Amino acid sequence: MQAQAPSAYHLYNLPPELLDTLTLRTLRSEPQPPPLNSKSASHQLDLTEDGKQVQDGIDGSTASGSNIGARACNICLGVTFTDVDEQRAHFRSDWHRYNVKTRLAGGQAVSEEKFGQLVEALDDSLSGSASSSSEDESSGEGPSDAVNALINKTKRLHAQLNDDDSSQMNQIPQSPLAWFHSPQHQTQLGVYRTIFPSYIESDGYLKELKDMQSSPEERTWAMFMVAGGHFAGAIVKVGKSDEERAEEAEEAAAAFATTGKKRKPKKPKPETEVLRHKTFHRYTTRKKQGGSQSVNDNAKGPAKSAGALLRRYGEQALRDDIRNLLLEWSEDIDACERIWIRASASNRRIFLDFEGPIVKGDIRLRTFPFPTRRPTQSELARCLLELTKPKVSYFTEAELREQDEAYLASIKPKPPKPAPPPPSQPSQPLPPPKPKLTKEEEVLKDKWLRAFEMISRDRLEALKSFCDREADALGGVNALIPEYASAEAGSGMRRAGTLLQAATVAGSEDIVKWLLDEKDADPTIPVPSRTRDDDRDVAEDGHTAEGDDTETIPLKPGAQRAAYDLAKSKAIRGIFRRCAATNPDKWDWLGAGRVPSGLSKEMEEERDERKKMRRKGLKEKVKEREREAAAKRAAVGVVEREPTPEPVPIQKPENPTGPQKLGGASGAIEGVAGLTPEMRARVERERRARAAEARLKALSK
């Protein structure tokens, strides 16, 4: 038989001489169970319902070696019996049962002394010993709790070891290819793991690969791709049946027998063949945008453009076309061995979310384990070739070992998860919980908040009515605002302690004047220090704005502020100073009130006069400078002339008798006399635009 070329290797038609020498390659060798000795391996052990040991082909009453003719146990080595009763009692003992279960699981038997040590390590009591009662003998119960506990403990230890090994293996990225190695031919074959059944572990890949080489029927796959409105589907044959291979061999033998000489072999049929295929396209995606219209609608809301309507229609038409095709191919899909689908999560619902031949959870469903391009028939053919043609490489054992070591060294181990830091103590003590207010305090808080709202909106008349009605409840105009009420006010209101201070912070001139003149609000009440930044707020408020000549009293460290210190505008401070000048003996304005000085009407008139004189002096200085500059220019003979604007040539219309546009007639100047200013401006803009166009045309010539 001629050796098959590597390029002609097919997944379902591998050479037998290569297939028989293949072994599965792994980066780490998995632990194998300990081998049984040759003597015990030659016997198949079993337990009957009566608990007796049965040996295939060998009587249990015989033994080898020096104990020929005596009764012995082939599991618990070195144990002999004088009669049948003693042998049966041994078979019912926990020691023998433990050894039988251990050997069946691939382990080794233990001595009676070792078994006793294992039992002592358990908390459970030993039941069902060799001296069992006649009731236990007749009942035929299974192994005792001690045996089960020992077996379970052994399984847990093995599972823990396997988990440690698997955790180390999980750190190694798994390749999508399962590699097989032939040491004799120094050949490696790579097959995609998704081709094998999902319920088969990696150690069963080799057996499954050998089973793939024969099939009573043709092997067929269904392949579908959908993306960007493009769809491609096909039903392909990936392997011949045993009957077809036998017919090809018979035809070759018959041709040789007829001619008597070896002729050029007839070209065999290809292993893969496209049985059905279909491609179509719908407009579902905007160019250079990506994503279907439905995805865009779900993210940003449904668009109302004509293109969006077309794309929605295209999506619905594409969905209907695909589902109709699946129903048409339902018989072929049911006979397929694998179903390959390349689609996004939303497009995948086209295949699964309807009563068709493909259902969710089908074990035949697969995704392509490599990148794919636009869904076309040629792309399906490329993917079919990629899946059915094994990857071939030729490396020696030493080269493979070097590659594995280099690959394992290149993998960086995962850093251990950092332990959660111990809970650190907060640097600052947590604020105390807010005390629960009584019903009366809740009502009072609501009233204060209503007063704050009126002040912030500068509603003087509403505040007057409110104060007349709720004066007794609030405690008067000079009552201190409770802390629980100011805490829920605005950021500025939190610093206020009285209604006057709140109005000063809000900048309500009318309310401040009303409180000082008519309600006799006390301006000397200190501002409460409710925050740590109260001293810094004084600098932020700023009493000396640009152009403000008001004198301020510096605030000494530890001194109390008054309502005047909360004023942010010159107008508010002027109200305080006028009241201080009008009623100088009513309050300690200059001391506790922190008002720098009073402001009488005469002082205001004098201040205004000074400003007028200052402005007049500035104007005289400007005029003097202009006269000096003109004299200097005249001395050097420089005479400035204002540039005269260049007259704009009036373009005569080519056809003066025809209809004229607005502003284009020869008598347009006289025609704008009766127009409104807006229309006149429009005509003027039109005239200037036409003049500019005429100049550009003249320059272009």
Active site residues: 293
Residue 228: burial class (beta carbons within 10 Å; 0-12, 13-18, 19+): middle
Paired residues of 177 in beta bridges: 192
User: How many residues in total does the chain contain?
Assistant: 701
Among 177, 209, 187, smallest CA distance to 18 is for 187
Q: How far is CA 588 from CA 579, 593, 597, 600, in A?
A: 12, 6, 11, 17
Query: What tokens appear for 154 in the block?
Result: 């052994």
Query: CB count, 10 Å around CB of 165?
Result: 13
Q: How far is CA 58 from CA 40, 67, 105, 155, in A?
A: 12, 15, 22, 31
- Is-contact 91 51, C-beta < 8 A? yes
- Is-contact 243 56, C-beta < 8 A? no
Q: Which residue spans within 155-250 are E strands per DSSP? A: 177-182, 187-192, 219-227, 230-239
Write down the number of H helices and E strands in the chain. 25, 13
Query: What tokens appear for 444 in the block?
Result: 């009072």
- Is-contact 15 87, C-beta < 8 A? no
Query: What tokens appear for 494 in the block?
Result: 């939190």
Query: What tokens appear for 483 in the block?
Result: 């802390």
CA separation for the pair 25, 401 (Å, rounded): 11
Dihedral (CA of 558, 560, 566, 571) sign: negative
Provide the H-helix boundaries in 583-676: 601-635, 668-671
Residue 224: burial class (beta carbons within 10 Å; 0-12, 13-18, 19+): buried
CA separation for the pair 530, 497 (Å, rounded): 10
CA separation for the pair 189, 167 (Å, rounded): 27
CA separation for the pair 336, 347 (Å, rounded): 22
CA separation for the pair 292, 298 (Å, rounded): 10
What is the DSSP annotation of 261-326? SPPPPPPPPPS-EEEEEEEEE---S-TTT-S-HHHHHHHH----SHHHHHHHHHHHHHHHHHHHHH
CA separation for the pair 220, 337 (Å, rounded): 6
Query: What tokens appear for 125 in the block?
Result: 């009591």
Encode 363-383: b = buried (16+ Cβ within 10 Å), e = exposed: ebbbebeeeeeebeeebbbeb
Paired residues of 365 in beta bridges: 339
- Is-contact 240 218, C-beta < 8 A? yes
